[in-house]
C-alpha cells in the first residue's frame, strides 16, 4: 500500500473507532505493518505522532458530543472515550485550556465568533427557521476520486480550484463535486481540520486516490450564498437545530454536495448533509 493511502486509511480507522481502545500496536497489527515503520510514516505525513493524533481526536470528538447531546453528563461522555472522570477533565483542559464543565456551560446558543476571523460574530436562526429548510433524504453511496486536506477550512476554496484543474480529465456532465468534513473548526484547532475534496468517477477511471463514501439517511439543508457564510449555517444546525431535533448523528463526518460554483463571486449552491438516525 502506498504510504499516503496507508495514512489516509489509518486516519479513517481512527475516526471510526474513537470510542474503542486504540494504540500504535493495534493499528500496526490491523494494517499488517511494523509499528516502528508505521509510526515514522504517520509522523512524516501528518506532522503528529499517532498517539497525539488519537488523543486530540478523542478529546475534540467528545466536545462535539457535548454540543450535540446537552442532556448527557460529562462523566458519561468521558467514559465513552475511555477516560475516568478525573483523567477526562485533565486531558480536556490541556487540549482546550478550560474544563469540560465550563466548556459545556459556554456552548453557544445565540451567536459565536468565527474561529478563522475572530473579529466576526455569527448569529444563529431559531430551530424553527432551520427546520423550514431541512429535508430528510436517503443518499446513495459515492465512488470518488479524492484528496485529503489537513488545514484551515478557510483555504478550502483555493484547494478546490487546484483539485478541479488537476482532475479536469475526469469531469463530465454527470460529475458530482462533494467534500467530506470531519471536524468542527469551532472546537478543533483550525490548522488541524480534516476534509476530503472529492468528485464522483467511474470505478474503472484509473485515478490514484479513490474510495467509496457511504450514503444513507441524511438531513439536507440547501445553501445558496457566499462561501464565507457556510460556517454560520452549519454551526446553527449543529448548535441549535440538531440537539432539539430528536435525530442522532450516526457518522463522524458530514457531506457538502455542490450544485453550482461561481468562482468570480465566491458563491455556491450546495447541500449541507449530516448523517442521522
Cα-flanking dihedrals φ and ψ of residue 12, to 5°? -60, -45
212-251 tens-digit pLDDT: 999 999 999 999 999 989 999 999 999 999 999 999 999 9
Local confidence band at 50 (pLDDT 50, 70, 90 cut-offs): very high
Number of domains in the chain: 2
Let me know: does 92 contact 52? Beta carbons within 8 Å: no
10-45 tens-digit pLDDT: 999 999 999 999 999 999 999 999 999 999 999 999
**Is residue 114 situated within a structural domain?**
no
DSSP lists the bridge partners of residue 216 as 139
Give the pLDDT of residue 2. Answer: 87
Helix (H) or strand (E) holding 123: strand 117-123
- Give the full edge-to-edge strand order of the sheet including 216-226: 134-139, 216-226, 267-275, 254-262, 177-181, 194-200, 142-150, 210-213
User: What b/e sequence results for 184-221 when a residue is b if at least 16 CB atoms lie within 10 Å of its CB, and e otherwise?
Assistant: bbbbbebebbbbbbbbbbeeebebebbbebeeeebbbb
Its pTM stands at 0.93
CB atoms within 10 A of CB 38: 22
Local confidence band at 208 (pLDDT 50, 70, 90 cut-offs): confident
H-state helical runs in 97-248: 100-105, 127-131, 156-166, 230-236, 242-245
**Whole-number Cα distances in Å, 125 to 81, 120, 181, 188:** 32, 17, 23, 23
Regarding whether 141 and 31 lie in a shared domain, the answer is no
Regarding whether 254 and 183 lie in a shared domain, the answer is yes
What mean pLDDT do residues 251-258 have?
Answer: 96
Regarding whether 172 and 52 lie in a shared domain, the answer is no
**Is residue 125 situated within a structural domain?**
no
Q: Tell me which residue range forms the domain holding 29.
A: 3-105
**Is residue 117 situated within a structural domain?**
no
Taking each helix axis from N to C end, the angle separating 35-46 and 3-16, rounded to the nearest 10 degrees, works out to: 90
CA distance 63 to 70: 11
**Is residue 123 situated within a structural domain?**
no
Residue with grid cell 506532522, as numbered in its chain: 47
CA distance 204 to 212: 13
Supply the CATH number for residue 52's domain: 1.10.10.60
Regarding whether 54 and 141 lie in a shared domain, the answer is no
For residue 76, how far is the Cα from the chain centroid? 23
Supply the CATH number for residue 218's domain: 3.20.80.10
CB atoms within 10 A of CB 101: 11
Amino acid at each position: 500500500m502506498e504510504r499516503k493511502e496507508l495514512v489516509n486509511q489509518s486516519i479513517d480507522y481512527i475516526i471510526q473507532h474513537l470510542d474503542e481502545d486504540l494504540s500504535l500496536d493495534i493499528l500496526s497489527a490491523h494494517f499488517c505493518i511494523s509499528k516502528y515503520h508505521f509510526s515514522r510514516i504517520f509522523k512524516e505525513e501528518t506532522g503528529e505522532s499517532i498517539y497525539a493524533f488519537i488523543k486530540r481526536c478523542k478529546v475534540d470528538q467528545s466536545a462535539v458530543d457535548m454540543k450535540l447531546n446537552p442532556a448527557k453528563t460529562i462523566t458519561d461522555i468521558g467514559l465513552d472515550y475511555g477516560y475516568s472522570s478525573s483523567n477526562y477533565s485533565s486531558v480536556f483542559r490541556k487540549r482546550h485550556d478550560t474544563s469540560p464543565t465550563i466548556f459545556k456551560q459556554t456552548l453557544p446558543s445565540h451567536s459565536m465568533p468565527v474561529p478563522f476571523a475572530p473579529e466576526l460574530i455569527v448569529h444563529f436562526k431559531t430551530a424553527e427557521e432551520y427546520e423550514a429548510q431541512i429535508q430528510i433524504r436517503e443518499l446513495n453511496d459515492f465512488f470518488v476520486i479524492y484528496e485529503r486536506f489537513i488545514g484551515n477550512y478557510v483555504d478550502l476554496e483555493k484547494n478546490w480550484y487546484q483539485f478541479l484543474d488537476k482532475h479536469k480529465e475526469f469531469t463530465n456532465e454527470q460529475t458530482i463535486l462533494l467534500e467530506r468534513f470531519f471536524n468542527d473548526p469551532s472546537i478543533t484547532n483550525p490548522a488541524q481540520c480534516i476534509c476530503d475534496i472529492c468528485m464522483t468517477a467511474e470505478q474503472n477511471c484509473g485515478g490514484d486516490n479513490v474510495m467509496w463514501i457511504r450514503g444513507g439517511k441524511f438531513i439536507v439543508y440547501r445553501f445558496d450564498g457566499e462561501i464565507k457564510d457556510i460556517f454560520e449555517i452549519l454551526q446553527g444546525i449543529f448548535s441549535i437545530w440538531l440537539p432539539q431535533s430528536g435525530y442522532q448523528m450516526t457518522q463522524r463526518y458530514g457531506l457538502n454536495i455542490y450544485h453550482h460554483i461561481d468562482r468570480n463571486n465566491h458563491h455556491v449552491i450546495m447541500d449541507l448533509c449530516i448523517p442521522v438516525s
